[in-house]
């Protein structure tokens, strides 16, 4: 039996976890918990969990499974992704990038499933999820100092992680207040 592209899309959506309510905010921390600073995303999600988040916020440890990230975004109003970066900048440098600037990078041509990362999930998600693709995606990248197996977060990355956590909390608090800044 041969499946059309539309049939494959429909089956993948049917198999995915159910979507989020349209007012849902999803925070996804990506990275490998076993590789030093690469763990910054999942560790930040754990910190946010421990501190508590407002109703309507889902926290996701995206780990290293980019395909799962695409499905976790399904139906959310807003998605925030946090991951480590390796650009050569000073460790702990924080980048805030609108998701639409990353949707076309990198190419999905010839991609193997073990190479599929969150950045692939953005372009794949737009294609797959269509109307259920979030309209508001923000990506926070934190420049890593080291990704040594078994190492803890480096001090500059840990400090940056807390800064990003505060930025995310401010966003969540603003959303909860209906867009008001609390004044």
Which CATH number belongs to the domain containing residue 55 in this structure? 3.40.50.1450
**Averaged over 111-128, what is the pLDDT?**
64
Give the pLDDT confidence score for residue 43 in this predicted structure: 96
Residue 110 has pLDDT above 70, yes or no: no
Q: Is residue 55 assigned to a domain?
A: yes
pTM (2 d.p.) = 0.78
Q: Is the dihedral of CA 81, 67, 88, 145 positive or negative?
A: positive
Q: Is the pLDDT of residue 91 over 90?
A: yes
Q: Could you tell me if residue 10 is inside a domain?
A: no
How many domains would you assign to the chain? 1
Q: Please report, in angstroms and rounded to a whole number, the separation of the first and last CA atoms in the chain.
A: 61
Q: Is residue 135 in some structural domain?
A: yes
How does pLDDT run across 64-82, given as a tens digit for each residue? 776 677 778 888 899 999 9
Q: Which percentage of the chain shows pLDDT scores above 70?
A: 72
Residue 12 domain-assigned? no
Is residue 41's pLDDT more than 80?
yes
96 belongs to a structural domain:
yes
Say if 181 falls within a structural domain.
Answer: no
Give yes or no for residue 49 having a pLDDT over 90: yes
171 occurs within a structural domain = yes
155 vs 1: which has the higher pLDDT: 155
Query: Does 73 or 96 have the greater pLDDT score?
Result: 96
Residue 130: what pLDDT?
Answer: 77
Distance CA 156, CA 55 (A): 31
In a domain, 16, yes or no: no
Structure confidence at residue 21 as a pLDDT band (50, 70, 90): low
Q: Which positions ≥6 away from 136 have C-beta within 8 Å?
A: 77, 78, 79, 99
User: What residue numbers bound the domain in which 81 lies?
Assistant: 22-176
């Amino acid at each position: 039996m041969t499946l059309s592209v539309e049939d494959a899309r429909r089956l993948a959506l049917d198999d995915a976890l159910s979507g989020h309510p349209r007012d849902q905010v999803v925070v996804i921390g990506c990275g490998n918990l076993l590789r030093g600073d690469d763990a910054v995303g999942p560790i930040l999600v754990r910190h946010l969990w421990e501190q508590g988040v407002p109703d309507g916020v889902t926290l996701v440890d995206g780990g290293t499974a980019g395909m799962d990230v695409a499905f976790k975004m399904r139906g959310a109003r807003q998605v925030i992704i946090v991951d480590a970066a390796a650009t050569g900048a000073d460790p702990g440098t924080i980048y805030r990038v609108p998701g639409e600037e990353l949707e076309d990078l990198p190419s999905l041509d010839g991609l193997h499933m073990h190479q599929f990362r969150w950045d692939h999930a953005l372009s794949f998600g737009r294609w797959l999820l269509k109307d259920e693709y979030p309209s508001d995606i923000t990506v926070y990248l934190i420049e890593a100092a080291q990704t040594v197996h078994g190492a803890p977060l480096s001090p500059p990355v840990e400090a940056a992680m807390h800064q990003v956590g505060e930025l995310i909390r401010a966003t969540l608090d603003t959303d909860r207040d209906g867009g008001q800044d609390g004044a």
